[in-house]
Structure 1
Amino acid sequence: MTVDISYDARTGEPVTELATSTTQDVAVALAAAAAAAPVVASTAPAERATWLGAIAHALDVPETAAELVRLADEETALGVDRLTMEIGRTSTQLRYYAEVAVEGSYLDATIDSAQTDRPALARVGVPLGPVAVFGASNFPFAFSVLGTDTASALAAGCPVVVKGHPAHPRLSRALADLTHRALAGTTAPDGLFALVTGFAAGTALVRDEHTAAVAFTGSQRAGLALWRLANERDVVIPVFAEMGTVNPVVVTRRAATRMDEIAAGFAASFTRGAGQYCTKPGLLFVPRGSGATDAVADALRRLAPSAWMLTEPIAGSAATGVGELVRAGAEVVAEIPGPAGGWAVGTTLLRARIEHLRAGSRLLDECFGPVAIVTEYSDRAELDRALGRLQGTLVAAVQSGAPDDGDDPDLAPLLTRLSALAGRVVVNDWPTGVAVTWAQHHGGPWPATTAPATTSVGAGALARFTRPVAFQNTPDAALPPALRADNPWRLPRRINGTVS
């Protein structure tokens, strides 16, 4: 029997052992999900919204939320304030995705009436079926068991089987228990939601014939391993993997006049959550001679961050990563020691010569943790060459002139350059936060994600879990509800080219 061990992240001491799922457990969960899939897909979005609302309501019970936050803090050391905010975000996004499902535009319902030279056609997105969700370590609520992947898949009409993250095994089970209790009082079918645990369970999830798609948030190594597994199946399935990237920030020459402000913002952003954000800015490009490196180092010393990592391997990788960056040509400028005990690490600022930023260099890979690099450029051409060597990234940022200055001559060219590199471009702000909104895109070019046209956050997240089907010359009564003449789900539709 294999086990997940729950640790106290601040001391490194084991708290308890929990048995992991067997491959038979996975098969049973997915068989139940497959049996539920047609029922879930045919259920009106407004009814599915009540299921998500019930889970959100259960999360909002003060005593329940406080106990979950306590448990999460023990296992992750992310702090009560941060985790209290995050559990509130999680219930909010459950309700948000329910609202997006009810609004219905994600289905892209489109109807063309029959004409003398063409048949009647009606197209709509149909749910894929059971989705395997791999919870993230760094957001134990918002991107884990009940995170954005689970919420958007359920809202889109797909059953979910979550593979819990070993960084917070007790919390994962507590959230799964809460979900089952909440759903028991609704019309949700058996098989709508399940949790499995353990490394072997993850492999079995991807390989099982009932799994229709995979959603993942985490490292490139793990995400690409799942992607390869999915592509080795007899029936290949989509993998929506959102993976870590270096996330560059460029400071223009005009912005260098407010370097103290920028340095403080950068220090706070790359150390937020102990640097364990997929949107952490890891590489700062600054004009040569601007004094940026010293300014960031001073800001970091004033901030004096204290960091525990989520797991012992993540802490080890952060420390090892600094050594790898030094061997690749970087120089340590400032280092703030971590707290004593547990999965603690120091916070490190490095500088590197821009000519060392070569394709394939370790300097261009993410170092997960409170670690960042500053590099100087002489002119726009040198900066452009360096940016051209970066991998695809989730987000990039520009610090331009004054916050409301749209006349910075470097801004427009940088936006054009960075939009080819990143899924989101930020101006005069920091990339670390990701708002759950209609216009949000949390994705990016390969290898930031395995599906660059999709987003894992925001209204667009639901569309990942559907595929378009066109019905030709089909009687109205036989069409899916979203395409019928009486429009029982009250969805927006494009009819003969006009939205109604």
Structure 2
Amino acid sequence: MVFVPTGKHLVAGEWLDGESTFQSSPAHGPSHSFAAGTVEHVNRACEAAEDAFWTYGYSTRAERAAFLRAIAEEIEARAEAITEIGSQETGLPEARLQGERGRTTGQLRLFADHIEKGEYLDRRFDQALPDRQPAPRPEIRLLQRPIGPVAVFGASNFPLAFSTAGGDTAAALAAGCPVVVKGHSAHPGTGEIIAQAIDAAIRRTGVHPGVFSLIQGGSRDVGHGLVKHPRIKAVGFTGSLGGGRALFDLCAARPEPIPFFGELGSVNPMFLLPEALKARAETLGQGWAGSLTMGAGQFCTNPGIAVVVKGSDADRFTAATVEALGKVAPQTMLTDGIAKAYRDGQERFSTRNTVKALLTTESSDRKASPNLYETTGEQFLADHALGEEVFGPLGLVVRVDTLDEMENLARGFEGQLTTTIHMDGGDLDAARRLLPVLERKAGRVLVNGFPTGVEVVDSMVHGGPYPASTNFGATSVGTMSIRRFLRPVSYQNLPEGLLSENFLG
């Protein structure tokens, strides 16, 4: 199947042009022209989503599960074309896109299974106590119910798993919420072919076409208009701290404030304890280099900081890391803008007197090569900029004098998506001291692993305290992410004739 983008938006079952266009900027292959979204497209999509909610929001769990599975099947039917256009637009290798496609269809099916079980409804039931004194108690039931139309912003670094039919969309659709997606301009062709798959699933299953819309490109007013539209009841976002914070503030400033679930980035610090470092410094250095440079470092879970206690073992670790990084060839970054931001981040580090360069390379155009720097714990705590994310394969080693200083350093970190402890049996006491600190800082705490790679399972949390995300009680990965798009409703003295399947099983 050869896919040539039409360049149109999908709005409530119709493929629409726009008054102006923008050009894609692929890493290789042909550029394509796409219609730029407008506020009118947003209004039309949001009104259609509200109309769809009155049927889709009250559909059976089996009907929604069938829709999710149909989307997965339609994506798989376009597998080769998705890989081709995705690779052209992003520069990601085919194997990575194939894996990401599997994750995308897998999480759609996971949510289908999840809602069929019904446990997400959190059913609660308190029987009536008519004879209770001094006053009788009514019968009370509780269910989780969908909140209404949801806006989703596609991510630059995951054209499939965090974009058009990605985790936010899958969770919202599973909950019973129609979705309006603002596609990311880094991969509009990939967004369009996924939207075609969703459109085909809509037609197959007969759900209301307003249940999904995709709007591409457009000025900042388009994104702002989507967030501020009164029909939208929540926003899912994966992207930069600056962009996410601006949209978060818009959500809070609305006449009806709505939740903004933003995943905004992280430096994901690792703490290498002495016995682990003594036993396997070289292996840890090689492993960190692999994780740091995976996908050109363009993962929100990229472990950008390693904290070690000074000494010969730390020297072995840094030497092994430098050696491994030196063997990594330049990699293509997702967009010209991301590549420039990486070069700017490298420049910020190279000009600071608080760091020492261990490995510096030249990155140009859309290619990135790894860089490694070193600082002390005291200098790190004194220079806030050293703890800011550089999106790409740049690492920082922080050397501390003692384990007490390591614990104090951990307390100084802002919120993170992940934190990691590398330890051996002799490090158990030190790890016990660190764990309470790290679990306050992050949504996921790892031991003897590297955080790049997020399992899509019931127990996963992909989120954390601000600025890692804007809602520390939420996750954007795993079945618990459906909770973002539900709200509890209590029902008092509901007669049997009004009890739906959700109450009964």
Query: TM (normalized to structure 1)?
Result: 0.92
Q: Which of 12, 21, 31 is matched with 1:3 structurally?
A: 21
The answer to whether the 8 Å contact 1:305/1:336 transfers is no
1:312 equivalent in structure 2:
336
Cα distance between partner residues in 1 of 2:382 and 2:124: 44
Task: Describe the superposition over 1:124-161 as per-residue Cα deviations: whole angstroms up to 9, x where unpaired.
Answer: 11100000000101011111101010011101110001
SS in 2 for 1:158: coil
Aligned pairs for 1:208-287 within 5 A = 208-257=229-278, 258-287=280-309
Q: Which residue of 2 aligns with 1:446?
A: 466
Distance in 1, matches of 2:272 and 2:381, equals: 20
Give yes or no for the alignment of 1:132 onto 2:151.
yes
Summarize deviations over 1:59-94 as a string: whole Å, max 9, x none: 222xx2111111111110111111111111111111
Question: 1:330 offset after TM fit, Å?
Answer: 2.0
Find the counterpart in structure 1 of residue 496 from structure 2.
476
Q: Kindly provide the amino acid, as one letter, of the partner of residue 34 in structure 2.
A: L
Please point out which of 459, 469, 485 is paired with 1:465.
485
2:273–2:427 Cα contact (<8 Å) kept: no
- Work out the CA distance in 2 between the residues paired with 1:170 and 1:406: 53
Worse-matched range after superposition: 409-418 or 87-96: 409-418
Does the residue aligned with 1:278 lie in a helix, a strand or coil? Answer: coil
Q: 1:172 aligns with which of 191, 202, 205?
A: 191
What is the aligned partner in structure 2 of residue 109 from structure 1?
A: 123
Instruction: Work out which of the residue numbers 95, 117, 120 in structure 1 matches 2:139.
Output: 120
- Aligned residue type for 1:269: S
Q: Distance in 1 between matches of 2:201 and 2:499?
A: 32
3-state SS in 2 of match to 1:435: coil
The one of 369, 373, 382 aligned to 1:346? 369
- Match for residue 370 of structure 1 among 377, 390, 393: 393
Paired residue for 1:436, among 446, 456, 462? 456
Q: 1:477 deviation in Å?
A: 2.0
1:91 counterpart residue number: 105
Query: How many residues are paired up?
Result: 475
Partner of 1:331: 356
The answer to whether the Cα contact below 8 Å between 2:310 and 2:399 also exists between their aligned partners in 1 is: yes
Question: Could you give the per-residue CA deviations for residues 459-481 of structure 1, whole angstroms, max 9, x where no partner exists?
Answer: 10111100011111222322454
> Would the alpha carbon gap of residues 298 and 253 (structure 1) be closer, same or farther in structure 2, given more than 3 Å must change?
same
Partner of 1:361: 384
Structure 1's 472 and 268: CA in aligned 2 closer, same or farther, altered over 3 A?
Answer: same
CA shift for structure 1 position 335: 3.1
Structure-2 residue corresponding to 1:381: 404
Change (3 A) 1:112 1:305: farther
> Tell me, what secondary structure is at the counterpart of 2:339?
helix
Q: Which runs of 5+ in 1 are unaligned?
A: 491-500
The whole-number CA distance in structure 2 between the counterparts of 1:418 and 1:131 is 32
Change in Cα spacing, 1:2 to 1:414, as seen in structure 2 (3 Å) is farther
Residue among 227, 242, 260 paired with 1:206: 227
Q: Per the alignment, in what secondary structure is the counterpart of residue 408 of structure 1?
A: helix
Contact 1:160 1:192 in 2 (8 A): yes
Using the alignment, how far apart are the partners of 1:479 and 1:298 within structure 2?
65
Q: Determine the structure 2 residue equivalent to 1:157.
A: 176
Secondary structure (helix, strand or coil) at the match of 1:228 reads helix
Which amino acid in 1 is paired with 2:40?
Q
Secondary structure class of the residue paired with 1:185: helix
What's 2:94 paired with?
80
Aligned residue for 2:112, secondary structure, equals helix
| Stretches of structure 2 lacking an aligned partner (at least 5 in a row) | 1-18
Contact 2:297–2:393 (Cα < 8 Å) also in 1: yes
Q: Which amino acid aligns with 2:120?
A: Y
Alpha-carbon displacement from aligned partner over 1:287-332 (angstroms, at most 9, x marks no partner): 2112122221012123x14321111111111000111123342222
Q: Is the 8 A contact 1:347 1:370 kept in 2?
A: yes
User: Residues of 1 paired with 2:158 and 2:432: CA distance?
Assistant: 34
Cα distance in structure 2, aligned partners of 1:406 and 1:101: 44
How far apart are residue 31 of structure 1 and its match?
0.5
The counterpart of 2:322, out of the listed 270, 291, 297, is 297
- Where 1:425 maps in the other structure, the secondary structure is strand
State the shift of 1:4 in Å: 3.3
Per the alignment, in what secondary structure is the counterpart of residue 132 of structure 1? strand
Aligned ranges 1:59-70 → 2 under 5 Å = 59-61=75-77, 64-70=78-84
* Aligned counterpart, 1:496: none
Distance of 2:283 and 2:497 partners within structure 1: 63
- CA contact 2:276–2:427 (8 Å) conserved in 1: no
Q: Is the 8 Å Cα contact of residues 354 and 377 (structure 1) preserved in structure 2? A: yes
Q: Residues 249 and 283 of structure 1 are in contact (CA less than 8 Å); yes or no, is this contact kept in structure 2? A: yes
Q: Deviations over 1:202-257 (max 9, x none)?
A: 11110111001000111111111110011111000111111101110010001112
Root-mean-square deviation over aligned CA pairs = 1.6
Residue 200 of structure 1: CA displacement?
2.8
Partner of 1:420: 440
Cα deviation for residue 7 of structure 1 reads 1.3
Q: Which amino acid aligns with 1:113?
A: Q
1:55 aligned partner: 71
By relative contact order (CA 8 Å, sep 6+), the higher-ranking structure is 1
- In structure 2, distance between residues paired with 1:18 and 1:192: 23
Out of 182, 185, 188, the position equivalent to 2:204 is 185
What SS does the aligned partner of 1:42 have? coil
Kept after mapping to 1: 8 A contact 2:39/2:222: yes
Distance 1:121 1:382 in 2: 53
The one-letter code matched in structure 2 to 1:312 is D
Checking the alignment, whether the CA contact within 8 Å between 1:72 and 1:171 is kept in structure 2 is yes
